[in-house]
Amino acid sequence: MLVPVGIGLIIFLVWYLKCISTRLELVSNDLVLTEGLLSKERTELDITGIRTVKVYQSLLNRMFNVGTISVFTAGDDAEIVVSGLPDPHDLRELINLRQDG
């Protein structure tokens, strides 16, 4: 009984640390992804260079209104991929509005 509870706590702790160490934000004309708790990695994309924003949500993701967002520029591989993002369609719409305006 104690082992499953301990494993569940470890999984929850890893998930929580990943959530607090990942930040995706729109700063003026850039989409900025910052990842890492102790060491940081920062990726900046100019809004005008974004070609496609793809949102994936499984049934469980849709129930909790979270999803995975993938941002593509010129290549076939996504420049930014963030999982577990709340309200992913709102972010996609915000990016589209910034590109139009």
Q: Which domains are assigned to the chain? A: 2-100 (2.30.29)
pLDDT at 101 over 80: no
Query: Percentage of residues in the chain with pLDDT exceeding 90?
Result: 59
Q: What local confidence, expressed as pLDDT, does residue 63 receive?
A: 92
The whole-number average pLDDT for the span 15-24 is 86
DSSP state of 73: -
Indicate if the pLDDT at residue 1 is higher than 80: no
Burial class (CB in 10 A: 0-12, 13-18, 19+), 85: buried
| Prediction pTM value | 0.80
* pLDDT above 70 for 2: yes
